[in-house]
Amino acid sequence: MTEEKLSTFTAPKGTYDLLPPSSATFLAIREALAAPLRRAGYGYIETPVFEDLKLFSRGVGESTDIVTKEMFSLTKRGKEDLALRPEGTASVVRATLQANLHKLGNLPVKLWYSGSFYRYERPQAGRYRQFSQVGAEAIGAEDPALDAELIILADDSFRALGLRDYTLLINSLGDKQCRPVYRAALQEFLTGLDLDEDTRRRAEINPLRVLDDKREAVQAQLTDAPRLRDFLCEDCKVYDEQVRELLTAAGVAFTDDPKLVRGLDYYTRTTFEFVHNGLGAQSAIGGGGRYDGLSEMLGGPALPSVGWGLGVDRTYLAMEAEGIVLDLPGTTAVYAVALGEQAKNVLFAKVVELRRAGVATDLAFGVKGIKNAMKSADRSGARWALVAGDRDLADGVVQLKDMTTGEQTPVALDALVTTLKEKQQ
């Protein structure tokens, strides 16, 4: 029998493990990004991480990078008909239509979600193949106040986390009246440029996407490109103006970015992106916009809608870049160290009792000397250590050590839970 050498495994390329202590910050960020939504009438929705592949090709757009290059498709019984979700909007609209949420009560249907998304991108700092978003969708209403509400909520989330060094970019992509006219004008302009084969093809299928080309040689040729702003119909212009006025009134600063087209095809009218100034190339910490035609593209009725997705991984990096450290409560308040077999049993029972009373408590497991056990107590970050040997127990006490001052006092065993509960307040 040949012995196969056991190799160790590492996380797949473009993914990473979330480990303590940074995982606690990650969870707190997720929580903070969602908190303003809960206060604004958004209900929680969870959809599967895989869906019918066609949901994304139809919803996100046949010619987008996300669909053509980055989708993780799943092959089952020789058929590629499912895909890991690259984003959340198409799934949320699908679920809304499937459950008829738009017929059940008031419109808009307001939903929020939090989860992992998958894109087969070339990994780099801030760009992963599995990443985490908190998202919000308001489905079935055309109202500039709704666009403004969502943008303000995203801004509030970032601010609540302490972020300041970011810019909100905003643009209007027009609607089905004015966008086709602009599209034709842009296409004509692009035919006159010196573009490579791939870009030329993109100009034919989706000319707006060319505006988003990051290469300098392409950007240099786009300075005189026609601007969508100049083609907006009256309705779109008024709508856009109203969103901006509401943002200004709420004290949310923004910058016009006529080239902001975003990487998904469903957008109409308001589009926006929050860009952090300390992140390098992958600087978008969140983005979204209005998608008035998506429901119809998925076979549903007309449901004008707006939403956003905020990147949890990049928000984490942005906070790091700004040197923001969240003041998170310690995970362990009390750490118990037993000296001897009998003491261990008594302390274990006390630990169970303390936890049931709501005091976060840990215990030195395994056979450890007092020195090592106290080191563990120190590392746990606990404010209090409980130390008990057989002699203490014979006296009916445990030693309570204040880990910040080093002061140690005996506490009666039966008064332990109340004493620690009081100290915790």
Q: Applying CB under 6 A, which residues contact ligand HAM?
A: 87-89, 119, 121, 126-128, 131, 133, 135, 137, 263-264, 284-289, 291, 307-309, 311, 313-314
Q: Given the complex with ligand HAM, which of 61 and 88 has the nearer CB atom?
A: 88
Q: Given the complex with ligand HAM, which of 240 and 313 has the nearer CB atom?
A: 313
Mind spelling out the 3-state secondary structure of the chain? CCCCCCCCCCCCCCCCCCCCCHHHHHHHHHHHHHHHHHCCCCEECCCCCEEEHHHHHHHCCCCCHHHHCCCCEEEECCEEEEEECCCCHHHHHHHHHHCCHHHHCCCCEEEEEEEEEECCCCCECCECCEEEEEEEEEECCCCHHHHHHHHHHHHHHHHHCCCCCEEEEEEECCCCCCHHHHHHHHHHHHHCCCCCHHHHHHHHHCHHHHCCCCCHHHHHHCCCCCCHHHHCCHHHHHHHHHHHHHHHHCCCCCEECCCCCCCCCCCEEEEEEEEECCCCCCCEEEEEEECCCHHHHCCCCCCCEEEEEEEHHHHHHHHHHCCCCCCCCCCCCEEEEEECHHHHHHHHHHHHHHHHCCCCEEECCCCCCHHHHHHHHHHCCCCEEEEEEHHHHHCCEEEEEECCCCCEEEEEHHHHHHHHHHHHC
> Residue 87 CB, nearest distance to ligand HAM (Å)?
3
> Residue 283 CB, nearest distance to ligand HAM (Å)?
9
> Residue 151 CB, nearest distance to ligand HAM (Å)?
12
> Residue 66 CB, nearest distance to ligand HAM (Å)?
7
How does strand 130-139 pair with strand 305-311? antiparallel
Q: What is the CA radius of gyration of the chain?
A: 28
Taking the CB of residue 9, how many other CB atoms lie within 10 A of it? 5
Q: Given the complex with ligand HAM, which of 283 and 380 has the nearer CB atom?
A: 283
> Residue 252 CB, nearest distance to ligand HAM (Å)?
17
Q: Given the complex with ligand HAM, which of 56 and 182 has the nearer CB atom?
A: 56
> Residue 378 CB, nearest distance to ligand HAM (Å)?
36
Q: Given the complex with ligand HAM, which of 314 and 344 has the nearer CB atom?
A: 314
Q: Given the complex with ligand HAM, which of 111 and 397 has the nearer CB atom?
A: 111
Q: Given the complex with ligand HAM, which of 163 and 364 has the nearer CB atom?
A: 163
> Residue 274 CB, nearest distance to ligand HAM (Å)?
7
> Residue 205 CB, nearest distance to ligand HAM (Å)?
19
Residue nearest to ligand HAM (CB): 311
> Residue 305 CB, nearest distance to ligand HAM (Å)?
8
Q: Given the complex with ligand HAM, which of 152 and 264 has the nearer CB atom?
A: 264
Q: Given the complex with ligand HAM, which of 108 and 380 has the nearer CB atom?
A: 108
Can you tell me the distance from the alpha carbon of 103 to that of 256, in angstroms, rounded to the nearest whole number? Answer: 36
